[in-house]
A = this chain, B = another copy of it.
Amino acid sequence: MDERKKRILRAIVQDYVQSAEPVGSRTLAKKYQLGISPATVRNEMSDLEEEGFLEQPHTSAGRIPSVKGYRFYVDSLQPGVSITKQDAQSIGDLWTPTTDMGDFFLEVAKMISQISHNVSLFLAPAHDTSVIRFIHVLPISDSQAVMVVVTDVGALDNEPMHFEEPSRDVILACAAHFSQALTDISIGDITIAFLTEQIQALEGNPQVYEVLALTLYRAIAKRKLFYSVGATQLLEQPEFQDIKKVQPILSMLEQSDQLSQLMHPIKSDAGQIQISIGAENANEELKDLSLIQASFGKDKQAVGTLAVLGPTRMEYGRIIGILTYIQQFITGLSKQQTKR
């Protein structure tokens, strides 16, 4: 593809991203000072359409970028990724030394969503590979207790449990055995079948073990891995003025399981940013949306994956810039901490 075609395609993508209206030859030639007449632009556009970079909503309309067009833009035409001072500032402001990482990401997600009118998604690192360090049972009353599961990367949420008969001593003794049996087991390996097998081998009150096993299972199932922020921002986008178009997307966002699977496959090569545009997403519902995702690590440990979901007509450069900046920011934090 020659230089002129590239310039035209770049201009079309940028104009369309900004205006959401199909771009015509006259506007293009004038606004972007291409130094050629609209007629020439038309010829070039016709070529670009033939090659699949552009699409025409109907005969007498301007052109809009196709998925292939966006892809080419993102891969080859993008001006150097940078971040505006304002955006950087907004992010910096969200961080104070006492901020919890999770909260920080929530705030960042909110911010991105707001400034870009897209949805932000966050996926905590899959704990499946994390390993049980120990399991602690804290009695609250004669019949109640709380289970705390500590793994190598932190702790799962508390899970309450309820015992019928046995004394506190019996329960604590069983809990100790239980904990020992499961130490160093990775979370991903824990199934009902596995637990059943394990507790059969243990000495003590089987009923207590059953409660313990069920509680552990509940605790694992429960940990919250995923959230999405700013779904309503999509309603600001001109392409989603029609309820029929937004509805399935919003419904999907409510059922987080589907979406979190989309993000799951990322192998956290921190520094990498993955972009899937429109139909490139396997999921049919996402055919008009693009997903940009980045994974973050601190002290060589995954902190999570942040993604931005919006219409294919998206400010790729800006979002990529912001995500890259956050990656550097977190790496920076990590270094700072080790230095101290």
Contacts and interface: CB of A to CB of B under 8 A. Distances in A.
Interface of A: 98, 100, 133, 136, 138, 140, 146, 148, 150, 154-158, 160, 214, 218, 230-232, 235, 240-243, 246-247, 250-251, 254
Contacts of A155: 138, 140, 146, 158, 160
Given A100-B160, A148-B148, A235-B247, 14 more contacts: A98-B214, A100-B218, A138-B155, A146-B148, A146-B155, A155-B158, A155-B160, A158-B158, A232-B247, A232-B251, A232-B254, A241-B243, A243-B246, A250-B250
Chain A interface SS verdict (over half): mixed
A242 B243 CA distance: 7
Contacts of A241: 243
B157 A157 contact: yes
Nearest to A340: B164
B235 A254 contact: no
Nearest to A148: B148
Nearest to A251: B232
A156 B246 CA distance: 37
Contact of A250 (B154, B218, B231): B231
A326 B279 CA distance: 45
A110 to B, nearest CB: 10
What is the count of identical protomers in the complex? 2
A100 B155 CA distance: 21
A317 B113 CA distance: 39
Contact of A148 (B138, B235, B251): B138
Contacts of A231: 250, 254
A271 to B, nearest CB: 25
Contacts of A160: 100, 154-155
B254 A243 contact: no
A246 B235 contact: yes
A140 B133 contact: yes
A221 to B, nearest CB: 10
A157 B158 contact: yes
Contact of A232 (B136, B240, B250): B250
A250 B253 CA distance: 13
B138 A146 contact: no
A243 B247 CA distance: 11
